[in-house]
Structure 1
């Protein structure tokens, strides 16, 4: 057996490829929704009010109205974005997600205020979007932690199995040779 240390396998590009493709697709959807010339809920106020009325009759607190729903929708819209930005970045730079998310949101709000007559920039939207992106980033941390833990267990098991087979093989050779 050689005394050379095995080389580390080259990194897989699967995570990077998929995360960048999904990030571009999802960011495009976010940009389409946020840069649409008119508010995306236009024409839906009656349906939204009906939905909230039903939800209130079924236990949703009465203080939860349209503004809270919109704030929550902004949070929810940015959760996947924070997750995907973090996935697309290398581990050593993943912290940049904490800066990229609010910068992206500020950029959107600035463009809405400057270019779209029927839309308006809202600092509250920046807060909600940032919260959502950071929640997505935190979820990425949980997922990466779970994957790392699983991988460490699989590697430890593979090493243990390899060593057990090696010991069994050596024992078998000794027994065939009549050495105890």
Structure 2
């Protein structure tokens, strides 16, 4: 999990650069066929930033089940802040952004909440199994 995150975060040029033309063409096609205008490059980028840290939040919540969702979110914010600082200091073709920190943090929180739901479902299933075995 850490290697793909590091590759995306610290790739020397923006990771969407090789597909930017295709993405623009796809968005034009979608808009021409009724997809609302708010579904644009900025939306796709924000969604990608959210998706990037969902696994971090999920795994962190499973690894540290005693931590609250907001603590996992703070961990995600720390990771995102380190990524953005690294991009600012070392990668001149990348742009550090506070909105990336916000969307990445949101992803970590979503991942933590998803793990919480998975844990609760697992506990419920285990409880149902135990009660059905007793009968």
- Distance in 1 separating the partners of 2:85 and 2:113: 26
Query: How far apart are the structure 2 equivalents of 1:146 and 1:125?
Result: 31
2:21 maps to 1:46? yes
- 8 Å contact kept, 2:57–2:109: yes
Question: What SS does the corresponding residue of 2:17 show, helix, strand or coil?
Answer: coil
2:43 to 57, 68, 74: 68
Structure 2: distance between partners of 1:85 and 1:106: 17
**What TM-score do the two structures reach when normalised by structure 2?**
0.91
Q: Which residue of 2 aligns with 1:148?
A: 123
- The answer to which structure, 1 or 2, has the higher relative contact order (CA under 8 A, 6+ apart) is 2
2:9 to 29, 34, 38: 34
Q: Call closer, same or farther: CA 1:97–1:74 in 2, change over 3 Å.
A: same
Aligned pair partner of 1:93 in 64, 67, 73:
67
Q: What is the CA distance between 1:94 and its match in structure 2?
A: 5.2
C-alpha RMSD of the superposition:
1.4
Q: Give yes or no for the alignment of 1:126 onto 2:101.
A: yes
Paired residue for 1:113, among 59, 65, 88? 88
**Worse-superposed segment, 94-103 or 69-78:** 94-103
Aligned positions of 1:162-173 closer than 5 A: none
- 1:82 paired with 2:57, answer yes
**Cα displacement (A) at 1:58:** 2.9
Q: Structure 1 length as normaliser, TM-score?
A: 0.70
Q: Which runs of 5+ in 1 are unaligned?
A: 1-25, 161-180
- How many Å separate the matches in 1 of 2:57 and 2:36? 29
In structure 2, what is the Cα distance between the partners aligned to 1:151 and 1:138? 20
Structure 2 alignment gaps of length 5 or more: none
